[in-house]
């Protein structure tokens, strides 16, 4: 019986520590990653600014009509979670800012995609300005998953799609 009480107390202490540490972490964070690609800015832009169904972690991608005239879309991941996004800035083929448009999620923020062309291709930089509202999710995001995990997965999928010949205009730099 003592063993069960001790185990329960240890689990409770861990949960309390996670909540307290999560509460002490800042709500907002910035994460940035870049990748150098051997493809033209136009080819990369065609994938970033278009239909995202090429990404392996998505189950479904759908465009949504918008009263504001901005590009709005929904992505459903492999776990069935659907998130609505809105392009708040779009300057082809150089820069796009996408914002999570669902205020009911335990997180929010923007991704800024910047494409810098050069003689042999381009460099893509994604900057996440995120907020995690729930202290437990904040702890997990910071210490378990990492703030750059989603950016890293996106850039890897982008590189893979381009290497498979999936660029929109078919052109290498």
Mean pLDDT by 10 residues, the chain (173 residues): 85 87 96 97 96 96 89 96 96 97 95 96 98 96 95 97 70 47
R_g (Cα) of the chain, nearest Å = 19
pLDDT at 8: 85
CATH code for residues 2-163: 3.30.530.20
Contacts with 90 (C-beta within 8 Å, 6 or more apart), sequence order:
49, 71, 96, 97
pLDDT at 166: 62
Helix (H) or strand (E) holding 32: strand 28-37
pLDDT at 172: 46
Name the residue ranges covered by the structural domains of the chain. Answer: 2-163
């Amino acid at each position: 019986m003592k063993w069960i009480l001790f185990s329960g107390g240890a689990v409770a202490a861990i949960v309390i520590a996670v909540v307290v540490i999560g509460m002490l972490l800042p709500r907002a964070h910035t994460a940035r990653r870049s990748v150098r690609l051997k493809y033209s800015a136009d080819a990369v832009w065609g994938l970033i600014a278009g239909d995202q169904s090429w990404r392996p972690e998505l189950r479904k991608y759908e465009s949504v009509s918008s009263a504001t005239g901005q590009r709005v879309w929904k992505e459903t991941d492999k776990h069935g979670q659907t998130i609505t996004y809105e392009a708040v800035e779009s300057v082809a083929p150089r820069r796009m800012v996408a914002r999570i448009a669902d205020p009911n999620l335990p997180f929010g923020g923007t991704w800024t995609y910047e494409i810098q062309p050069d003689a042999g291709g381009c460099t893509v930089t994604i900057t996440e300005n995120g907020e995690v509202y729930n202290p437990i999710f904040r702890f997990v995001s910071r210490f378990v998953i990492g703030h750059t995990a989603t950016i890293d997965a996106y850039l890897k999928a982008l590189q893979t799609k381009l290497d498979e010949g999936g660029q929109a205009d078919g052109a290498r730099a």
